[in-house]
Chains A and B, each alone.
Chain A
C-alpha cells in the first residue's frame, strides 16, 4: 500500500501570504492520480486539484498543484480568509486509494 506523508502538520500564516504544502509518497504515484482536497470545519471535503495540477471546477487560480513521482506540492499563492482549512492529498492506484494525514493551515 502506498503511504502518503504530508508536511508540515500545521502551517501558520497570515492572509495574503503564500502557502506551500507538501505530499510525499512511499513509492511512485501516477501523476494522473494525485489529488488535493480542502476541508473546512463542519463541512465535507471538496476537490481542489486532480491529476496533480488540474484545478477542479470553480476552484480559484490562486490554488495550484505540481509534482511527479513521489513528491507533490499544493501552492496557495495569496491566502484569503476562506482558505484557512485542512488540506489532504490522495492517490489512486491498483484499485486502492490512500489519503495523507492532512496539513492544517491556520491564521497566524
Chain B
C-alpha cells in the first residue's frame, strides 16, 4: 500500500527555521516525483515545488522560489520542506504529494502538516 506519512504539527515563532518531512512507503521512492502543496487557512491549494528523489532534480513554483528549500534523502525514502526564517504568513497546512508522471496528477497525498507561526 502506497503511503506518504508526514511529520507532526509545528508551532514556531517568526524568524525561526523549520524542516518538515514526508516518508514514502509501499512503492519505489526514487522512481516518482514528490511535491509539496500549501493550503492557507480557509483557502485553496497552491503548488510549491517538486523533487525527483532519484537524482534530486528540483523544480519550484515562481511564487515559492527562494522562500523554501525542498530536498530528499533517498536512503530513508524521505522528502523535506524547509524554511530558514519563518513568517506569520507561512501559517498553513502543508501536504506532500506523489506525482504520477503519466497522468500529470497527484495520486497520493500525505495527511498534512500544520505549521503555525506566531509570536
Q: Could you list which residues of chain A lie within 8 angstroms of chain B, going by C-beta atoms?
A: 1, 30, 32-35, 37, 39, 44-47, 50-51, 54, 56, 88, 90-93, 95-102
Contacts and interface: CB of A to CB of B under 8 A. Distances in A.
Interface residues of B, number: 21
Interface string B13-52: 0000000000000000000000100000000111100100
Given A33-B104, A50-B104, A102 B110 contact: no
Given A44-B95, A50-B100, A95-B59, A35 B111 contact: no
Interface of B: 35, 44-47, 50, 59, 61-62, 95, 100, 103-112
B47 A97 contact: yes
**Chain B interface secondary structure, helix, strand, loop or mixed?**
strand
A82 to B, nearest CB: 18
Contact of B109 (A30, A46, A50): A46
Contacts of B105: 33, 35, 47, 50-51, 56, 90, 92
